[in-house]
Amino acid sequence: MFYVINAIKLKQGTRQEFVKLLESNAKGASNEPGCISFNVIQDNSNIDVMWFIETYKEEKDFEAHQLTSHFKQWYPHFKRMVEEFIPNTNAIGRPIYPPINGWPENN
């Protein structure tokens, strides 16, 4: 599996439009064959902060996601409405636990 996790802060006053425009990309990503999950989480402390937690079968599936029409249509809006990536929240990589092949049954 391959994970992409980051948090963004939206420019003030753009949240409603951002959420509306994000829907087609989120739905599209969720239906991609290599996407295991595509979650956008609302931060409890600030409604303008959102967490993206994306899980793909392989890194190439994330790369393929970025080439889809739904991503390409949405990304210019993302760039326009995001004030910043929250520092120290970007994580891109593979899991340590649980093991890729699952936990051994005897442990």
pLDDT tens digit sequence for 14-60: 999 999 999 999 999 999 999 999 999 999 999 999 999 999 999 99
Let me know if residue 35 belongs to a domain. Answer: yes
Let me know if residue 55 belongs to a domain. Answer: yes
Nearest CA-CA partner of 20 in 76, 67, 74? 74
Let me know if residue 58 belongs to a domain. Answer: yes
Asked whether the predicted pLDDT for residue 68 surpasses 90, the reply is yes
Let me know if residue 19 belongs to a domain. Answer: yes
Q: What percent of the chain has pLDDT over 70?
A: 98
Nearest CA-CA partner of 54 in 20, 16, 17, 8? 8
Higher per-residue confidence, 62 vs 1: 62
Instruction: Tell me how many domains the chain contains.
Output: 1
Element (H, E) at 83: strand 82-85
Angle at 67 between CA 61 and CA 71, to 5 degrees: 100
Torsion of CA 87, 26, 77, 93, to 10 degrees: 30
Let me know if residue 43 belongs to a domain. Answer: yes
The pTM assigned to this predicted structure is 0.86
CATH number, position 26 = 3.30.70.100
